[in-house]
Amino acid sequence: MTDSNAADDNWLIDEDDDELPASGLGAPDQRLWRVLIVDDDVDVHAVTRLALRNVSFKGRELELFSAYSGREAFEILRDTPDIALVLLDVVMETDDAGLILARRIREELHNAIVRVVLRTGQPGQAPEQRVIIEYDINDYKAKTELTTQKLFTTVISALRAYESLNMLERSRIGLGKILAGATNLYQIHSLREFASGVLNQVSAILDVGSDGVLCLMQGDTGVTTVVAATGHYAALNEAELMPTGHPLWPTIAKAFAEKKSQFEHPANVLFIHTQENREVAISVTPPWPLAQIQRDLLEVFCQRIAAAFDNLYMFGQLRKAQEATVVALADLAEFRDKGTGGHVRRVQLLSSSLAQRLHARGAYPDEVTPQLLDMIGLASILHDVGKVATPDHILLKPGIHTPEERAEMQQHAAVGQTILERASKMVDGVSYLTYGAQIAGGHHEHWDGNGYPNQLKERAIPIAARIVAVVDVFDSLLHERPYKEPWPHTEAVNYIKERAGKQFDPEVVAALLDMIERDPSVGRTPE
């Protein structure tokens, strides 16, 4: 302020130092209240800092920022999060610089919760009634009326209002995260993945950072198992059971015993009880005590994820039933063909790994979808299910097949596809049976169009079938059959290489060779 009155020199008068609160030193890891002083007079900054040096509110001290023009203040507000209060002079580089900044805070920065207190040494230049009505400010003070005690009252009132508005805003954001997070959790397929998703959502809701989050589960036996752990507790992922000597154990045990959440900083344990009578505890250790609004949000989140947890359990049971059905069908086909023992299980593992390698290489992004990656392993088990229709004298023949027998044998591809397509129509959407039908019908097709049963060519052959085609032959070469001895690993690899671009998709072969280069034991039976 350039033209201050003589009275302005004494605008901050110590009325009674004894009335000031004692310094409240909170925990060193607690955040500070951020206050921005905006004034073009250096002395105003100095005396304001002096007056507020011992002020604290709810155990949190003040962190003071200084700006000497409206433009500088705008940049600080734009770049510095969580400023709670702006003590703003009206007259600075222009007669209305403070008023312009007040408007920019709301309209350009869209910051509706920071509290703005105007301080002026020339009240007549910006009449109070007009300013209060036309500008979104929270208080208007003449510098001549601001004593130390009144400044303290103004600051504390502004911080209390900011805290209330901030809680409302965090509640709104937190509830949005809960809704989005719980929805995402319904798309997860494994308990560990589910727990990891919960941990991420909890960290997002807290929005305070965390040294780590721990998810535990306890069943009817009372045994506490570690489901997932992050950050500082990541090492517990390797420990199946929760160590009772761990510092968090007393609070965790109390949560399970009392069947309710525990907030005993630094240990905070969220308790979740599901309809399926499983109990889950999530331990979080934020660097400062959780505010009540954070506790309330986490309790709401726990209610939501309890339902998601039950759905996951039921989905898991359904998935296991599907897998059991698929395995039973494959076992039925393999039961008659004693020479293929273990073949379908090896095909399952290698098909899944090969699909993942294709994905990592960026091959066929439109075909190698997350859905395929999830289902191809189990679906590949069904590749020879059509052999149930092959007569024993052909299926079990130890020698070379005649042309007629070969033609009869080749019918298993079409038979398998027909059986699985019929079954897949009983299920909405894409399922294991959908991919199983593609694999059963297409894993004997050749890249160059010389395969069977439909002489499909190149990418007209479904990607799942092109993957299993390579895996099926590779595994068959490496293991004994009624009509052949196992091939050496090198010869089997060379055969696959030679057939790339003829029998096999070159990209799939390249991915297999990539896997073998990374791990030479790929395809070998462990001794």
- DSSP secondary structure of 359-412: HHHT--TTTS-HHHHHHHHHHHTTTTGGGGGS-HHHHT-SSPPPHHHHHHHHHH
Active site residues: 387
Please state which CATH class domain 337-518 belongs to.
mainly alpha
> Of 484 and 517, which is predicted with more confidence?
517
pLDDT attached to residue 82? 87
Which segments of the chain belong to CATH 3.30.450.40? 188-316
Mean pLDDT (the chain) is 79
Instruction: Express each pLDDT in 213-240 by its tens digit.
Output: 677 777 666 788 887 777 777 788 777 7
Count CA atoms within 13 Å of residue 246 on its CB side.
19
pLDDT attached to residue 282? 82
Residues in the chain: 527
Arithmetic mean of pLDDT, 390-419: 80
pLDDT exceeds cutoff 70 at 198 = no
- Which of 232-246, 249-263, 316-330, 454-468 shows the lowest mean pLDDT across its residues? 316-330
- Which of 310-319, 331-340, 382-391, 492-501 shows the lowest mean pLDDT across its residues? 331-340
- Which H helix or E strand runs over 263? strand 262-264
Which segments of the chain belong to CATH 1.10.3210.10? 337-518
pLDDT attached to residue 334? 64
Whole-prediction pTM value?
0.50
Nearest to 286 by CA among 276, 278, 297, 272: 297
Q: In the structure encoding, which two tokens stand for residue 121, read together?
A: 């040494």
Confidence of residue 335 (pLDDT cuts 50, 70, 90): low
Count CA atoms within 13 Å of residue 384 on its CB side.
24
Per CATH, domain 188-316 is 3.30.390.10 = no
Q: How far apart are CA 474 and CA 488, in angstroms?
A: 11
Which segments of the chain belong to CATH 3.40.50.2300? 33-169
Q: How many CB atoms are located within 10 Å of the residue 255 CB? A: 26
Q: How far is CA 315 from CA 48, 189, 378, 474, in A?
A: 62, 8, 16, 34
Q: Is the peptide bond before 266 cis (omega within 30 degrees of 0)?
A: yes
Q: List residues bridging with 83 in a β-sheet.
A: 34
Q: How far apart are CA 374 and CA 380, in angstroms?
A: 12
Q: How far apart are CA 321 and CA 314, in angstroms?
A: 11
- Which of 31-35, 114-118, 258-262, 294-298 shows the lowest mean pLDDT across its residues? 294-298
Instruction: Express each pLDDT in 514-524 by its tens digit.
Output: 999 999 888 77
CATH architecture of 33-169: 3-Layer(aba) Sandwich (3.40)
> Of 137 and 506, which is predicted with more confidence?
506
Arithmetic mean of pLDDT, 439-463: 94
Nearest to 496 by CA among 478, 518, 479: 478
- Which H helix or E strand runs over 294? helix 292-335
